[in-house]
Amino acid sequence: MLRAIKTTPLHRFSSLTSISRSISTLILAEHDGGAIKSQSISAVEAAKSLDKQTSISLLLAGSGPSLQQAAAHAASCHPSISQVLVADSDKFTYPLAETWSRLVQLVQKKGEYSHIITASNSFGKNILPRAAALLDVSPITDVIAISASNQFIRPIYAGNALCTVRYSGSNPCMLSVRSTSFAVSVDSSKCNEAPISQVDLSTFDEDSVGKSRYVNHTAQDTERPDLGNAQVVITGGRALKSAENFKMIEKLAEKLGAAVGATRAAVDAGFVPNDLQVGQTGKIVAPELYMAFGVSGAIQHLAGMRDSKVIVAVNKDADAPIFQVADYGLVGDLFEVIPELLEKLPDKK
Amino acid sequence: MKIMVAIKRVVDYAVKIRVKSDKSGVETQNVKMSMNPFCEIALEEALRIKQSGLASEVVAVSMGPTQCVDTLRTGLAMGADRGIHVESTAALFPLTVAKLLKALVEVEKPGLIILGKQAIDDDCNQTGQMVAGLLRWPQGTFASKVMLDTEKQVATVEREVDGGLETLCLDLPAVITTDLRLNQPRYATLPNIMKAKSKVIKKYTPQELNVEVKSDIEVVEVTEPPKRKAGVLISSVDELIDKLRNEAHVI
């Protein structure tokens, strides 16, 4: 009797309960030079926090030996990975959204995952929403915390508010996660090898594939640590006045083994290329130490670095908003402070 | 070729937002609203393409409450030829917006859709990719440079990706989303603002476009981000190094 009454309201939430029943996660992973990118491993951490029992499959696509190498790395890079799926085809040589989203659709049809997760970077943000549209579900961008298997926290308004959203749609629930919020805490020596299997691409239809073609990629030289994952980030703003002066920031970064960041003003003034930009429209960083020189602290910039552990600000203007978030503020001329720091800081790295 | 540009009305980027005390959202009453900055760039790009003779018409589209008409008028004053307003008082999430755009594409048959890469209110960065997926059109996201070849029916798009720039070649029709560096949007001049008043804005409802407004996500609450503990001002480099080493233990 009771059950009969209950079925009607339950019906509405049937998709919701199916999510909580069994959780299986697919990670859309990115690889480079035969290794999985650390941001993709952060996505595995995020999957782990959905549910301890979740089975995690990692999807990799590409072609040739570097893919095979990456697959081997994927199989042993995190103990929670239970399976590595590999899509090996010339179509995947470059990570195009058109091919990737079809691949996700194909793999989802077979695997019926409850969750699909990727890192919230230019790879994930390009692919995930398209794949979600093909699967007719709403994706959730830039998740910084997972409070339940269908409830997530994400920043809105450039990080000036936090929004808790509940996903009540059908499987899969698709997320892009902010890597700096899901730190990888893995002892890789204890890793067991996850099985690697090939994705059957015989039913991969061409559809929109081939309508976009990769032309080229201009990379910025990256001798220093990657901005997104560096322990220390040194950022310069407009006050540096010239690209020449910006070299002081680079020197200081070298000394600390740090990555170099910049504000939009510094990028627009042509001091540095735009992939160094930290902020709402650039990179989001959360290093152990963030040092800002000549940065005023516009909200768009703060959105990109407010989660840093320790923030140091050096600025001539004592009223600059950056001092409101800085743990240590030094009011002074950066053209005096930086040389002094260079002299007094011990060498590192 | 016709270009369709999607524009969104959002809280002005310079406004310091306030979270409502009942945690239901962000205060938008009596707050300055403007066109989303990325949408301005999208519209500017469409207008430049038209000025170079590669497009015949620029249609601006906005979705949401009645006030979106103001945003559309701004777009018309910048130079868009016509406006389309899909009126809905319900909260529209990117998936619904993408479906509405797809329905409008079937009516208008544009050769190119340009959107901003993200709206500065929900920071989603989804709509462009989703509409491209629904239409099975190729996508060029985070564009910092767009070159059209209407003879070969291709668009070459330079994209801002992590670690550099990537160039893609897309068959038209295609969807492009704009990054900040693509261009510097123009200001509407007073004569153009006057002229914009006589331009046509066509109204649709989601029902007329056969799109059901529903959502598979709901906002549970909106809160203020945790405040950082107040910092200290220090007076010398020596003190800074000492604090970083012995107090914060980061160097």
Q: What is the ipTM of this complex?
A: 0.94
Identify whether B200 is part of a domain: yes
If you average pLDDT over residues A250-279, what whole number do you get?
92
Check A129 against B218: CB less than 8 A apart: no
pLDDT tens digits for range A278-293: 998 788 898 999 999 9
Instruction: Determine, yes or no, domain membership for B226.
Output: yes
Measure in Å the smallest separation between the Cα of B42 and chain A Cα atoms: 15
Q: Which residues of B touch A160 (CB under 8 A)?
A: 16-17, 225
| Contact flag B217-A96 (C-beta cutoff 8 Å) | no
Q: Does the residue B251 lie in any domain? A: no
Q: Distance between CA atoms of A256 and A197, rounded to whole angstroms?
A: 42
Q: Measure CA of the first residue to CA of the last residue in chain B; give whole Å.
A: 58
- CATH number of the structural domain spanning residue B106: 3.40.50.620
Contacts of A311 in chain B (CB under 8 A): 228, 231
Greater confidence, A51 or A35?
Answer: A35
Which residue pairs from B12-21 have beta carbons closer than 8 angstroms and sit at least 24 positions apart in sequence?
B13/A300, B13/B37, B13/B120, B16/A160, B16/A299, B17/A157, B17/A160, B17/A161, B19/A161, B19/B222, B19/B223, B19/B224, B20/B222
Residues in chain B closer than 8 A to A220 (CB atoms): 163-164
Structure tokens of B83? 């406006």
- pLDDT bin (cut points 50, 70, 90) of residue A74 is very high
Local confidence pLDDT in tens for the 251 residues of chain B: 999 999 999 999 888 899 999 999 999 999 999 999 999 999 999 999 999 999 999 999 999 999 999 999 999 999 999 999 999 999 899 999 999 999 999 999 999 999 999 999 999 999 999 999 999 999 999 999 999 999 999 999 999 988 788 999 999 999 999 998 899 999 999 999 999 999 999 999 999 999 999 899 999 999 999 888 888 999 999 999 999 999 888 87
Nearest to A281 among B122, B137, B180 (CB): B180
Q: pLDDT for A321-346, tens place per residue?
A: 999 999 999 999 999 999 999 999 87
Task: For residue B191, tell me if it sits in a domain.
Answer: yes
Q: What's the pLDDT score for residue A310?
A: 95
Say what the pLDDT of residue A1 is. Answer: 41
Three-state SS letters, chain A = CHHHHHHHHHHHCHHHHHHHHCCEEEEECCEECCEECHHHHHHHHHHHCCCCCCEEEEEEEECCHHHHHHHHHHHHCCCCEEEEEEEECHHHCCCCHHHHHHHHHHHHHHHCCCEEEEECCHHHHHHHHHHHHHHCCCCEEEECEEEECCEEEEEEHHHCEEEEEEECCCCCEEEEECHHHCCCCCCHHHCCCCCEEECCCCCCCCCCCCCEEEEEEEECCCCCCCCCCCCEEEEECHHHCCHHHHHHHHHHHHHHCCEEEECHHHHHCCCCCHHHEECCCCECCCCCEEEEECCCCCHHHHCCCCCCCEEEEEECCCCCHHHHCCCEEEECCHHHHHHHHHHHCCCCC
Q: Is the pTM of this model over 0.95?
A: no
pLDDT at B195: 95
- Decide if B181 is inside a domain: yes
Asked whether residue B32 is domain-assigned, the answer is yes
Q: What is the mean pLDDT of residues A68-96?
A: 93
Whole-number pLDDT of residue B237: 92
The confidence band for A107, taking pLDDT boundaries of 50, 70 and 90, is very high
Distance from CA of A58 to the nearest CA of B (A): 21
Contact A219 B164 (CB under 8 A): yes
Chain A to chain B Cβ contacts (< 8 Å): 247
What is the pLDDT at residue A218? 84
Query: How many domains does one find in chain B?
Result: 1
Say yes or no to pLDDT of A2 above 70. no
Taking the CA of residue A321 and the nearest CA in chain B, the distance in Å comes to 12
- The bridge status of strand B33-35 relative to strand B9-11 is antiparallel
B120 contacts in chain A (CB < 8 Å): 157-158, 280
Other beta carbons within 10 Å of A187 = 7
- What is the model's pLDDT at position A347? 67
Q: Domain containing B123: what range?
A: 2-246
Nearest chain B residue to A337, by CA: B237
- What is the average pLDDT score of chain A? 88
Which pLDDT belongs to residue A274? 82
Kindly list the residues from chain B whose CB atom is less than 8 angstroms away from the CB atom of residue A216.
166-167
Burial class (CB in 10 A: 0-12, 13-18, 19+), A115: buried
Would B57 be classed as within a structural domain? yes
